[in-house]
Each structure stands twice: as structure tokens, then as C-alpha cells.
Amino acid sequence: SGSGTIPGNSSSDIVVNSTTGLTGGLRFTPGFSTINSLTVNTASGSNVMLGTDMTTNGMITLTNGELRLNGRTLTIAPTGNISAAGSGSITGSSTSGLVVNSASGLAGNIRFTPGSNMLGNLTINTGSGTSAAINDDLTIHGTLTLGNGSLDLNGRDLTLAATSSLSNTGTGNIW
């Protein structure tokens, strides 16, 4: 893999349609890591890996395959969302982060790859009366930050590891 970067901008859409996934990570030019939308449509077991932190202002569509956070942070901006369509998942780790700032909450549940349903840090800061729902059990190894809105467990288990902490910076709650 080379050292090239992607100069993202808020109107950039990235669509990965691949039968094998990508061999390198999505690396963004420093200061240009915000995109509009991301679609991952790879073969089952194949992935698209982040090489740097990334922010999406629009829709994340996980049609098939995995979005591997790879120790990076994925931020869903106030205008961002996750599509309810598809069967793809997010592959987390104890050093990965997810920040949900979606003002309207999320349309789709956050689906995690079996065996990789963990995050270092999770921030929920959706609009009042809105939520972000998980579709799988989840373990937090760093900080769970509740701003506004709700983390909907959707009948799943949330585990705070021995190294984790909880920060409530607003009116957010877990249900």
C-alpha cells in the first residue's frame, strides 16, 4: 500500500463496490477527512478499512461486507445518518471510536461484526427525543459519553469493561 491520501470534502461521495474489499485503508488528507456519504458493498467477510479518522455529513450505507474502523474514529455529523437497508456491519476494536452527532437520530441500527462488537469510545449526542440504536451486544473499553438523545440498546447487552468510564454531559440516557 502506498502513501497517497484522499482530499475529502463535504460533497464527496465514496462508493466501494468490490468482490474482495480494499487492500489498503481509506486515508484522508489532514484537514480534509469529511465526506458526504459512504457506501460499502463488498463480499461477505471483505472489508473497507479506515486509515485515518473520518466524518460523514450524509448517509452511511452498509450494503454488504464490513467497515473496519481499524483503531480510528468514525464521526456521524449532525446531518449524517446510517441507512436501515443492507446487511453490512462495523468492525470495531478496543481502540476504535464512534461519535454519533446526528441531530435527527439514526434511521438504521448500528450493526457490529460478530466478534468485533467493541469500541474504545462511544459518544451519543443526537437531538432531543431521538436515538441511536445498536443491533448487537456491545462492549466499551474507554469512555461512553452521553450528550443528548438516547442510546437504544434494542434488547442487547451493553458492557462497560473494567477500563471504561461513563460521562453524562447532557440529558442523554440509555434505554
pLDDT tens readout for residues 30-85: 999 999 999 999 998 899 999 999 999 999 999 999 999 999 999 999 999 999 99
pTM of this structure? 0.96
pLDDT tens readout for residues 130-158: 999 999 999 999 999 999 999 999 999 99
Q: Which has the closest alpha carbon to 51: 32, 24, 76?
A: 24
**Residue-level pLDDT at 1:** 54
What is the Cα gyration radius of the chain?
Answer: 15
Strand order in the sheet with 143-146: 34-35, 54-56, 73-76, 97-100, 121-124, 143-146, 165-168
Question: What's the one-letter identity of residue 161?
Answer: A
pLDDT category at 160 given cuts 50, 70, 90 is very high
Residue 4 neighbours by CB distance under 10 Å: 8
